[in-house]
Structure 1
Amino acid sequence: MKLLCVLSALLFASVVAVELVSSLPVSRRYDSIFSFGDSFADTGNGIVVLAAHSLANPAAAPPYGMTFFGHPTGRSSNGRLIIDFIAEELGLPLVPPFLAHNGSFRQGANFAVAGAFARDASFYRDIPFVGPFALNTSSSVQLQWFKSLKPSLCNPAQECMGFFHKSLFFMGEFGVNDYSFSVFGKNLSQIRSFVPDVIKTISMATEKVIEQGAKTVVVPGIPPLGCSPGNLALFPSADPDDYESRTGCLKQFNDLAMYHNSLLQEAVNKVQTKYPRVRVIYADFFTPIIDIVESPDKLGFTRDILRCCCGGGGKYNFNISAGCGQPGSTVCENPSAYLYWDGHLTEAANHYIAKGWLNSINCCMV
Structure 2
Amino acid sequence: MKLLRIVLLVLLLPAVSSCIPGRRRRRYDSIFSFGDSFADTGNDAVVFAARSLSTPSTQPPYGMTFFGHPTGRNSNGRLILDFIAEKLGLPFVPPFLAHNGSFRRGANFAVAGATTLDASFFSDIPGVGKFVLNTSSSVQLSWFDSLKQSLCSPARECKGFFHKSLFFMGEFGVNDYSFSVFGKTLPEVRSIVPDVVKTISSATERLIKQDGAKTVVVPGIPPLGCMPPNLAMFPSADPAGYEPGTGCLRQLNEIAVYHNELLQDALRDVRISHPDVRVIYADFFTPVIRIVKSPRTFGFISDILRCCCGGGGKYNFNMSAGCGMPGATVCEYPSNHLFWDGHLTEAAYRFIANGWLNSLNGS
Q: TM-score range by the shorter chain?
A: over 0.9
Q: CA deviation at 1:157?
A: 3.4
Aligned equivalents of 1:191 and 1:297: distance in 2?
A: 34
Q: Does structure 1 residue 118 correspond to structure 2 residue 109?
A: no
Determine the structure 1 residue equivalent to 2:301.
302
| Structure 1 match to 2:182 | 184
Distance 2:151 2:315 in 1: 45
One-letter identity of the residue aligned with 1:89: K
Give the aligned residue type for 2:78.
R
Which residue of 2 is the match for residue 38 of structure 1? Answer: 36
Structure 1 spans left out of the alignment, 5+ residues: 1-22
Q: Provide the alpha-carbon RMSD of the alignment.
A: 1.2
Identify the residue that residue 210 of structure 1 maps to in structure 2.
208
Instruction: Determine the C-alpha separation between the residues in 1 that align with 2:265 and 2:273.
Output: 13
- The one-character-per-residue Cα deviations of 1:36-92 (angstroms, maximum 9, x if unpaired) are 000000000011001000011110111111110011010000000000000000000
Q: Cα deviation per residue 1:212-266 (whole Å; 9 max; x = unaligned)? A: 1100000000000000001111111121111111100000000000000000000
TM-score, normalised relative to structure 2? 0.92
Question: Whole-Å Cα distance in 2 between the matches of residues 47 and 26 of structure 1?
Answer: 39
Other-structure match for 1:279:
278
Answer whether contact 1:309 1:317 (CA < 8 A) is retained.
yes
Corresponding residue of 2:52:
54
One-letter code aligned to 1:219: V
**What is the percentage of aligned positions where both structures have the same residue?**
74
- Structure whose residues are more often helix by fraction: 2
Q: Is the 8 A contact 2:24 2:361 kept in 1?
A: no
- For residues 26 and 289 of structure 2, the distance between their equivalents in structure 1, rounded to whole angstroms, comes to 32
CA contact (8 A) 2:22 2:362 kept: no
Contact 2:116 2:136 in 1 (8 A): yes
Report SS of the residue matched to 1:357.
Answer: helix
In the aligned structure 1, how far is the partner of 2:48 from the partner of 2:203?
24
Answer with 1 or 2: which has the greater Rg: 2
Tell me the distance in 2 between the aligned counterparts of 1:26 and 1:219.
21
Question: How many residues get paired?
Answer: 342
Residues 3-51 of structure 1: per-residue CA shift (max 9 Å, x gap): xxxxxxxxxxxxxxxxxxxx98697610100000000000000110010
Asked which structure has the greater RCO (Cα within 8 Å, sep 6+), the reply is 1
In the TM superposition, what whole-angstrom CA distance separates every residue of 1:261-292 from its partner, at most 9, and x where no partner exists?
A: 00000011011111111000000000000000
Residues in 1 aligned to 2:177 and 2:250: alpha-carbon distance in whole angstroms: 15
Is 1:344 matched with 2:339?
no
Task: Provide the residue aligned with 1:146 in structure 2.
Answer: 144
Tell me the alpha carbon deviations over residues 175-206 of structure 1, each in whole angstroms, 9 at most, x when there is no partner: 11000011111111001111100011001110
Q: Secondary structure at the match of 1:35?
A: strand
Aligned to 1:3: none
Question: What is residue 73 of structure 1 aligned with on the other side?
Answer: 71
Q: Cα gap change, 1:240/1:359 in structure 2, threshold over 3 Å: closer, same or farther?
A: same
Check 1:224–1:27 CA distance in 2 against 1; reply closer, same or farther (3 A cut).
Answer: closer
Using a 3 Å threshold, how does the CA distance of structure 1 residues 258 and 325 change in structure 2: closer, same or farther? same
What CA distance in whole angstroms lies between the structure 1 residues aligned with 2:131 and 2:41? 19
1:186 to 1:27, Cα distance in 2 relative to 1, 3 A:
closer
Letter in 2 for 1:327: P
For 1:326 and 1:197, the matched residues in 2 are separated by: 35
The gaps in structure 2 that reach 5 residues or longer are: 1-20
SS in 2 for 1:297: helix
Aligned-pair distance for 1:129?
Answer: 1.4
- Please state whether the residue corresponding to 2:167 is helix, strand or coil: strand
Q: Any residues of structure 2 matched to 1:159-178 within 5 Å, and which?
A: 159-178=157-176
Alignment match, 1:20: none
Matched, 1:334 2:337: no
1:10 corresponding residue in structure 2: none
Quick one: which amino acid aligns to residue 105 of structure 1?
A: F
Provide, for residues 301-326 of structure 1, a one-character-per-residue CA deviation record: whole Å limited to 9, x for no partner: 00000000000111100111111111
TM-score by length of 1: 0.92
Decide whether aligned partners of structure 1 residues 118 and 298 sit closer, same or farther in structure 2, where only a CA change above 3 A counts. same
* CA–CA distance in structure 1, aligned partners of residues 120 and 75 of structure 2: 28
Report the Cα distance in structure 2 between the residues aligned to 1:27 and 1:138, rounded to whole angstroms: 33
Match of 1:201 among 196, 199, 202: 199
Deviates more, 1:319-328 or 1:136-145: 319-328
Paired position in structure 1 for 2:258? 259
CA distance in 1, matches of 2:311, 2:331: 11
Contact kept, 8 Å, 2:292 with 2:305, in 1: the verdict is yes
Q: In 2, distance between residues paired with 1:28 and 1:224?
A: 30
Aligned to 1:92: 90
